[in-house]
Structure 1
């Protein structure tokens, strides 16, 4: 079978820029998967995806003109049903063979497997391999059906009657196997070798593709298009850096913006623009956001990270004289910056404190009241957290910050740019003469906003951020708005991880259940609601720790105890990992699991401490003596926070524990003796499981 490289391209109207990268990757991978499944390409065949504003394409290496024939074995029926007493085919067998395209002549070649009642008849045949035209037709249709399309369009075909659905209207189809056109069709289009280049700068339009391997080169030279999304993105990065370097400046880093701009241009040309320095009086976050969000520009920063009045434009054309392009973009950005300055000036005419009453008119949730009511509850929770930390001066700043935290939602700037909530609150608080602790807490109470984001900078910010997230968690759980599957419209998983990170990374001396009970009480919900949130948070904690490289056994051993001070958890995990490396750990973990099972099955209440006067066997006496010596040492290390030393002490229990289970019958006939031995095991269980549930380490 001849194998050549395959190219497929859909030429479309402008595709949605924020989805283009995913569309290109999905189209190429789905196309290749289908070809592999049909035997037309080998698993692991090299696949290159192409995606530009007006095209989706894929280049697949080593595609066959026809797939290899495949042997097919079909189980027909039991031999006793298919053959009569004389070994002749029954009507049932003949009917089954006819369905497979065979006749009575195939009976003699049927294969038998099994013996007696289990003997069955099998029909062996060879299925011809699928031809590329048929297989590619199926592959293209499958790839198009699997595209992660944000919103489907319905449009008419050229005949004026038929309508089809796709992400954008398609105007061309290319399918080349080597230099040969593969006769396939989709969306009313027949495949060919002609495609379109750049709207204005193509050297030839249409572009006649020579073969599948010339696509990228011909599009670049004749069509003036960099067809590969990744290559176009890399070229934009190169040009951005090259344009900024002579100015001694650095472009703002923003991967999402870079992806979007890469989806808006076919052949990038980076130019430098500038605006009046007077606009720099506006907070740079506002200017940066308006340039990125509205104009897709890359603002330039100086060495100190301050915004300058220069910015980079990624143009889709490369005229000999770019001054008109630069001037046009400078004229366009000026009104945007003027709007930002107007919003900033207007907002500062009213203090944040004056805006707080207006929160009573903003609905937060129809079952949870207004933002004003929510702010009051967040303030109470935040002050409660500050009180737990035992700092009276902290309480006053926390109260002020929590009271004002949501006030900037009513400003014009945040109304225009919701992404600036908190940030603008900080600027307006500083303008109002409030302390930096309060101002930065207003900004930081949204943190961490995403995985890897920084935590609040001060204790004031931490208290308000914890309160804000705990109030959201308890409130949403209290009204039944829990995350389900991959749906989490209120970002409760993110809020839970934010609380966890603050408690762990700041090593705060706070009890998780106490925090949740306070929040639930202030919100008017029950301790059961708070406990549901706790379960949810420990699930998130387990997932986070496994992502950090801890094993499932290590995480389960620690988290199953639901330690209340989350800041201790890293030390506990380190201790468990060190304990697991000891030669005694496997035996002790197994013994601990056995002890736990025995205690679970015990009837009635088990005593807390064994009576040495009731011991009979030397092994139980030895275990009691060892516990008397080792438990105080392990407990002292535990209380001192040295969890590694606490678990290391337990290694000395291996010998007496093994001897106990070898020579002592726990469930003795004498009830008093049995109860005493259960009490001894209860002591052992408590001593071994203070740092972690060591039974979770058992194989």
Structure 2
């Protein structure tokens, strides 16, 4: 029996555009997986997903009409239960065999057909049977029902279908959108499956207005995409349609010339791809007077509300032209162009109105309005929050740059949230911070303060830029610390995948600023110093929050390619200057590559265990009490090596410091081979513990080397 290719299409009303790509991939993926699990398709079967605004489809190669029969061995029961003392079948065994469809008319023959094999400590009976392979009709029916059940549907609709039976009536159907057609072709043969009240056929529908033929006849599974393109004016593949839109966008920008390019936005491109069946990119424009409005406002309203692609010039400035992806291709596109230009004009006029109105009031005059904006029922208003951020920012600024930086940070923190009560941000919340910067410059504030107002939200996501100046970094740190300390202080912690206040993201933002800007701030003091700003509103959870930040740091470092051992070794010491962590990791990696490293790491672990049992140990060593040659040799080597290693550490050459310590391997090994640390004489025992304590302290200044032990 040969295989043929399979095509399944579900034709529906317009699907939710932001979910279309996932729906298409899920539909094809589950369908293929189900067919493979039933033996109707193989791992070599190629799966092609199709998704357009009105269809979900899958093309699967090498699908069998019937799956191969499969030999199955099934454990029945222990032999002691299935057979009596004479070796005859017990009633329990006969009943089990009967339930499996075996012939038990001759019990002796039925027993003879069974296999006996050890199963643990006892012997068990096994029954061999041949399971008939699934047919494509039944297998595809099951696979299709499973694929529909597992679709990641954002919101289910309920609709009515007339029943297809002798008694007239209606039945309710639940699906993402009303379904109107089903195609199932194995080669050129229709597979008789039913789903959502629909029977499979070989007819589908093309473009609403531009299809050359309606309905579109599909000759076989392999002609699906070509037939839809030729007769239905539809590009069925999501990927092909997206590539065609990108090509047309670039071509349209090139025709305009002057280095003009369409704005890059993959999410917008995906959404537009999900809105059109046959894209046609057109060039439109708006009045130049609107360019006086900040370009972020115009770009956002065109992208978010109209799904247009704004055009930027070679310098990255917005032009008064934009691109529209139309779903129709008339011979004269002037009406389509004019319609889109009329639609966008009121949107831009609204943005201009908001901008003009907002500039009539200074940001300083809006501070009082924040008292009316609720931040959190346990933490008060945005106005109260601003005061806390000011307190934290001033303290950080004073530490990093004295009074001048503290004053700038305080001013920026005071005004950072005021754009939340402007008309523009009320309409477009995504512009918070951005509009604050424009309004600050309009008020005559310094560029440093204006930039800090915008940048205090940064980094907003993984890979986002950091604040561009120190004032911005101070306010951003204060803002994130206020959120973290406040939420931890009221017990509002992230759980599992739920993190409504983005505390993980805030923690990573704090880490990135401390590390990448190498700020001379100690993490523990930074966190603890923010808590007093809350007064009695919170319980001080500084210790838990600090551990949370170290956990985020550990995860981030592992994602950067550091091993778990390297990360644990460095973070076990809880380094307070996070800017030093990268240097410590590099030093540990270099040390771990040395031939002496495994032995020294193991010795370090052993020393740590000894000292842990000894509780408090004084690192003082009396040369008079050194008796054994090995302990004298170790002490002598330490006197030669440790000053050099400590000097290198203090100079910031961490890698050299660890490499210098590698010279102690031989005397350390000799010490443990021939010296009894816990000697009976108290003075000897304490002296030897002190020697090990001195060594342990010196070896673990960069990292806890015991974490490198296997």
TM normalised by structure 2 equals: 0.96
Deviations 1:193-228 (A, max 9, x none): 111111011111111111111111111111111111
Match of 1:189 among 191, 198, 211: 198
Quote the residue 2:68 is aligned against. Answer: 68
Q: Which residue of 2 aligns with 1:27?
A: 27
2:235 matched to which residue of 1? Answer: 226
User: Hey, what's the Cα distance between the residues in 2 that align with 1:312 and 1:4?
Assistant: 43
Whether 1:343 aligns to 2:354 is yes
Q: For the residues of structure 2 that align with 1:638 and 1:668, how far apart are their CA atoms?
A: 33
Q: 1:287 aligns with which of 261, 284, 298?
A: 298
State the distance in 1 between where 2:174 and 2:675 align: 76
2:690 and 2:171 map into 1 onto residues whose CA distance is 82
Please report how far the alpha carbon of residue 600 of structure 1 lies from its aligned counterpart in structure 2 after TM superposition: 2.1
In structure 2, the CA distance between the partners of 1:196 and 1:556, relative to structure 1 (3 Å rule), is same
* Greater alpha carbon shift after TM alignment, 390-399 vs 473-482: 390-399
With 166-175 and 432-441 compared, the bigger mean Cα shift is at 166-175
Q: Secondary structure at the match of 1:680?
A: helix
**Structure 2 residue aligned with 1:158:** 162
Return the alpha-carbon distance in structure 2 between the equivalents of residues 694 and 562 of structure 1.
14
Partner of 1:56: 56
Shift of 1:321: 0.5
1:107 aligned residue: 111
Superposition pairs of residues 38-187 of structure 1, within 5 angstroms = 38-102=38-102, 103=104, 104=107, 105-114=109-118, 118-159=122-163, 161-187=170-196
Q: Does 2:582 match 1:570?
A: yes
Q: Secondary structure at the match of 1:299?
A: strand
Supply the distance in 2 between the matched residues of 1:554 and 1:266 (Cα, whole angstroms).
52
The Cα shift of 1:648 comes to: 1.1
Q: Give the number of equivalent residue pairs.
A: 698
* Distance of 2:651 and 2:532 partners within structure 1: 33
Structure 2 counterpart of 1:466, from 477, 500, 503:
477
- Cα distance in structure 1, aligned partners of 2:688 and 2:9: 77
The aligned residue for residue 521 of structure 1 is 532
Q: How does 1:188-587 map to 2 (within 5 A)?
A: 188-248=197-257, 249-524=260-535, 529-587=541-599
Closer, same or farther: CA 346–115 of 1 in aligned 2, 3 Å: closer
- Indicate the SS of the match to 2:162: coil
Alpha-carbon shift at residue 518 of structure 1 (Å): 1.1
How far 1:629 moved relative to its partner?
1.9
Where 1:256 maps in the other structure, the secondary structure is: helix
| Structure 2 contact 193–200 (Cα < 8 Å) conserved | yes
Mean CA deviation greater in 27-36 or 223-232 = 27-36
Question: Contact between 2:82 and 2:90, CA under 8 Å: does it hold in 1?
Answer: yes
Contact 1:517 1:527 survives alignment (8 Å): no
Give 1:686 deviation, angstroms: 1.1
Contact 2:302–2:344 (Cα < 8 Å) also in 1:
yes
Structure 2 vs 1, CA of residues 495 and 116 (structure 1 numbering), >3 Å: closer, same or farther?
closer
Long gaps (5+) in structure 2: 164-168
1:610 is displaced (CA, Å) by: 2.6
Deviation at 1:116, TM superposition (A): 11
Cα shift readout 1:97-155 (whole Å, capped 9, x = no counterpart)? 11211123422110011299711111111111111111111111212222211111111
The structural deviation recorded for 1:675 is: 2.3
Name the residue aligned to 1:37: 37
Is 1:649 the counterpart of 2:660 in the alignment?
yes
| Residues 96, 670 of structure 1: alpha-carbon distance in 2 compared, 3 angstrom cutoff | farther
d(CA) in 1 for partners of 2:691, 2:539: 34
Query: Which digits, 9 at most, give the CA deviation of each residue in 1:240-261, with x for residues without a partner?
Result: 0000012221101111101100
Tell me the SS of whatever aligns to 2:541: helix
Task: Render the CA deviation track for 1:159-205: whole Å, top value 9, x for unaligned.
Answer: 35211211111111111111111111111111111111110111111
Shift of 1:458: 0.4
Mapped partners of 2:531, 2:341: distance in 1: 53
| 2:604–2:696 Cα contact (<8 Å) kept | yes
Corresponding residue number in structure 1 for 2:601? 589
Equivalent pair of 1:610/1:677 in contact (CA under 8 Å): yes
Contact 1:469-1:495 at 8 Å conserved across structures: yes
- Find the aligned partners of 1:183 and 1:609 in 2 and give their Cα distance: 88
Comparing 494-503 and 155-164, the one that deviates more: 155-164
Counterparts of 1:639 and 1:115, CA distance in 2: 65
Contact 2:490 2:539 in 1 (8 A): no
Q: Is the 8 A contact 2:619 2:689 kept in 1?
A: no
Residue in 1 that maps onto 2:166: none
C-alpha separation between the residues in 1 aligned to 2:690 and 2:162? 86
- Counterpart secondary structure, 2:170: coil
TM-score by length of 1: 0.98
Q: Counterparts of 2:467 and 2:534 in 1: how far apart (Å)?
A: 24
- Is contact 2:371–2:384 with CA below 8 Å preserved after alignment? yes
- How far 1:44 moved relative to its partner? 4.6
Q: Secondary structure at the match of 1:540?
A: helix
Q: CA deviation at 1:78?
A: 1.4
Deviation per CA, 1:255-294: give whole Å up to 9, x if none. 1101100100011000000000000000000000000000
- Worse-matched range after superposition: 627-636 or 522-531: 522-531
Contact 1:80 1:117 in 2 (8 A): no
Measure the CA separation in 1 of the matches of 2:156 and 2:84.
Answer: 59
| CA deviation after TM superposition for structure 1 residue 598, in Å | 2.2
